[in-house]
Amino acid sequence: MFDYKLLSALAAVVEQAGFERAAHVLGLSQSAVSQRIKLLEARIGQPVLVRATPPSPTDIGRRLLNHVQQVRLLERDLQSVVPALDEGGIAERLRIALNADSLATWWAPAVGDFCAEHRLLTDLVVEDQDVGLKRMRAGEVAACLCGSERPVAGARSLLLGAMRYRALASPAFIARHFPHGVTAQALARSPALVFGPDDFLQHRYLASLGVEGGFEHHLCPSSEGFIRMTESGMGWGLVPELQVQEQLASGKLVELLSDRCIDVPLYWHHWRNGGQLLTQLTDHLAKKAGQWLVPLAAQ
Amino acid sequence: MFDYKLLSALAAVVEQAGFERAAHVLGLSQSAVSQRIKLLEARIGQPVLVRATPPSPTDIGRRLLNHVQQVRLLERDLQSVVPALDEGGIAERLRIALNADSLATWWAPAVGDFCAEHRLLTDLVVEDQDVGLKRMRAGEVAACLCGSERPVAGARSLLLGAMRYRALASPAFIARHFPHGVTAQALARSPALVFGPDDFLQHRYLASLGVEGGFEHHLCPSSEGFIRMTESGMGWGLVPELQVQEQLASGKLVELLSDRCIDVPLYWHHWRNGGQLLTQLTDHLAKKAGQWLVPLAAQ
């Protein structure tokens, strides 16, 4: 077995953002915490912490942390069976990778009550889908939300539904760039908004209109920034319908071509043996996500 | 002088997200583009592109790209003096690092008209302040928005104002965690929301109330996700006042302790010789930012 005294010291230093606070929480002296970290590093032969303010885990440190979180989840399951072992209901943490648009829209309303009820704290990591799955494979996250179905070894995936995107722009942008109506060619010549190098929604939209090739675009890796830039007439872009209901109702944003949406599927990937809390969260999402996501049409 | 045929090929492949489209834009065959990239790599002795779909620049590739952008900006200045050289007003790009909360709130309304008028496209990078300045130093961005005043060598900094943050929570969260009123001790025992490891606003707020030490928290590296999680009762957190005016008016979010804000200064760092467009953008920001930011009180 690993030495969990050492691993707990690592977890405390990262979670408390410093040696002093970690010592306080663990009821140890600061030098005792420091000794435990050094011993851990000596055993595994490489550093687990970057000594910055605050200290951050190295790659191997992050894997150890995730392991500690997984073990805590498993312990938690046992505690509900053997209540005498319960130390008073310490909140648990789950590290979860998800896409920015989910976090900006339906994620919190879907899981808020669950987290409060189960005293679950979340470490959220915003990643595009491929990186999210890589983090699953490396054991850095307990679960991830992404667009591809295929789970990594040891994990399961579950289709929660799809996010619906519509191509929108501000009335001023439309007046400036499409005085003679929105045509595919005019669209290809006006500046678009692109979330990042892995965002091909705008390409797909143009391709569906028969336009191939590059186009002028701003890069904006922020879900909320994307909306603000669309509202400010900086470009057109594909935006989650969920996020702009108010702007569509008020006419602040307008659909470029009516009723032409792109649905992006969202799969929930989770470890098969991730403990009861992860299983409960999975069941909860399966039940709730349909309130915000649309059913995925057969493609 | 560098060989700008090679550098333009690199820029086209990255900006067009592929060799085929780059070739199309440059009016070359795909193999000619490929040859130019290989020649560039042979000259500098290391790869400039990661051959993925889409191709992404390596670190050195990114620096070369930024250099190309800077040169284009300088060329643009010259074109306005020597109009005969003008190739028809190609849109220019500026790569800018900024904090997530600015991008989620005032950035786009402040620069939208400027970008449209000057045909400026922006590559935005979301970074916390220290990383933003590192990217300035490495020449990876033309400008950055950050919380510290001191410019890197060759750059200037300009105080634009401050973002005002207030500690907010949902009425349900307040009812659950503070049945006997919001006290510093009760606050320290209820889950907080923290943006990331470099976000110490919540620590500062607790410290201002005399509370030291760690506290339970969710990590949520998304400006919009932060608001959604606050609204969903997952935690309390310091939120930009600009971003939640509607929620404060409707009572969806409530201030924990009345009239206790934290003002975070925002400095605009830009290269001294970044070209006329960057200077114009700087002047524009200096004039406009006060519509959204508050004056920084003497500390």
pLDDT tens column, B120-157? 999 899 987 677 888 888 777 889 999 889 998 889 99
For residue B56, give the nearest of A115, A197, A217 by CB distance: A197
If one compares A1 and B4, the residue with the highest pLDDT of the two is B4
Domain extent listing, chain A: 163-262
Average pLDDT, chain A: 87
pLDDT at B196: 83
Q: How far apart are CA B127 and CA B297, in angstroms?
A: 25
For the stretch A129-147, pLDDT in tens is: 677 888 888 777 889 999 8
Report the top-level CATH class of A163-262: alpha beta
> What residues pair up with A261 in beta bridges, in sequence order?
A166
Q: Residue A79 above 80 pLDDT?
A: no
At B4 the pLDDT is 76
d(CA A264, CA A161) in angstroms, rounded, equals 8
What's the rounded Cα separation, in Å, for the pair A130 and A147? 9
- Contacts with A132 from chain B: Cβ below 8 Å: none
Does B207 reach chain A within 8 Å, measured CB to CB? no
Alpha-carbon gap, residue A70 to A226, rounded angstroms: 35
Question: What confidence tier does A78 reach under pLDDT thresholds 50, 70, 90?
Answer: low
A179 in reach of chain B (CB within 8 A): no
Taking residues A215-219, report their average pLDDT.
89
pLDDT confidence of residue B78: 57
Please, which residues 93-112 of chain B have a Cβ atom closer than 8 Å to chain A?
Answer: 100, 103-105, 107-109, 111-112
Q: For residue B74, what pLDDT is reported?
A: 67
Statement: residue B84 has pLDDT above 90: no
With a cut of 60, say whether residue A105 has pLDDT above it: yes
CATH code given to domain B165-260: 3.40.190.10
CA separation, residue A109 to residues A17, A285, B171, B282 (Å): 28, 11, 15, 39
Select the more confidently predicted residue: B87 or B58: B58
Give per-residue pLDDT as tens, B89-126.
456 888 899 999 999 999 999 999 999 999 899 989 99
pLDDT band with cut points at 50, 70 and 90 for residue B263: very high
Minimal Cβ distance to A213: which of B21, B100, B220: B21
**pLDDT top residue among B93 and A269:** A269
The answer, yes or no, to whether residue B208 has pLDDT greater than 50, is yes
- A interface test, pick of B24, B33, B124 with most A CB neighbours within 10 Å: B124
Which residues of chain A are within 8 Å of residue B26 when distances are taken between CB atoms?
Answer: none
Predicted local distance difference test score (pLDDT) of residue B81: 54
Of 3.40.50.720, 1.10.10.10, 1.10.3720.10, 1.10.287.130, the CATH number of B1-70 is 1.10.10.10
Distance from CA of B258 to the nearest CA of A (A): 25
